[in-house]
Amino acid sequence: MKTHLSELLEFERQRQQALTQPDLVLLEKLLAEDLVHVHSTGMVHNKQQFLKHIERMGGFIAISRETPDIRLEGGFAILTGKTRNTIRLLETGEENVRCGFSTLVLRRTPQSWQILLSQLTPYQS
């Protein structure tokens, strides 16, 4: 179990790196083909839509996240916790901060972990 926890923390580090650089090749590997990504605004993207969105916006400016709570069940992992994303608004290019409770559901494949669901639920800060 300890191995899985360190693997999952490394996965989360890579995810944040892929979103902030942005590294679309790495990000594509981290995302499941049947991804559902729910933005803090309620907008929902599949894998291809999300990759195009990240490319258009030029990636995240910064991601600040506490060490997530991790639950493992068979070949699935759930990572939850508070997060603070600094992003560029597509319309204006201005920086915007989105704070919320982040949920990632990951599935273990023969090669690696992949994100099935990513959701940021906003809260009042």
Please give the structure tokens belonging to residue 84. Answer: 């603070």
Assess whether pLDDT exceeds 60 at residue 79.
Answer: yes
As a whole-number percent, the residues of the chain with pLDDT over 90 amount to 83
Query: What does the pLDDT average to over 27-32?
Result: 98
**Residue 2, pLDDT score:** 57
CA dihedral 93, 84, 27, 29 (to 10 degrees): -160
**Residue 44, pLDDT score:** 98
pLDDT band, very low/low/confident/very high, at 4 (cuts 50, 70, 90): confident
Give the domain ranges of the chain. Answer: 2-122
**Residue 68, pLDDT score:** 96
Q: Are strands 69-73 and 44-45 parallel, antiparallel or unpaired?
A: unpaired
Query: What does the pLDDT average to over 57-71?
Result: 94
Q: Would you say how long the chain is, in residues? A: 125
CATH code linked to domain 2-122: 3.10.450.50
Amino acid at site 113: W
DSSP per-residue string spanning 21-71: TT-HHHHHHHEEEEEEEE-TTS-EE-HHHHHHHHHHHTS-SEEEEPPPEEE
pTM as predicted? 0.91
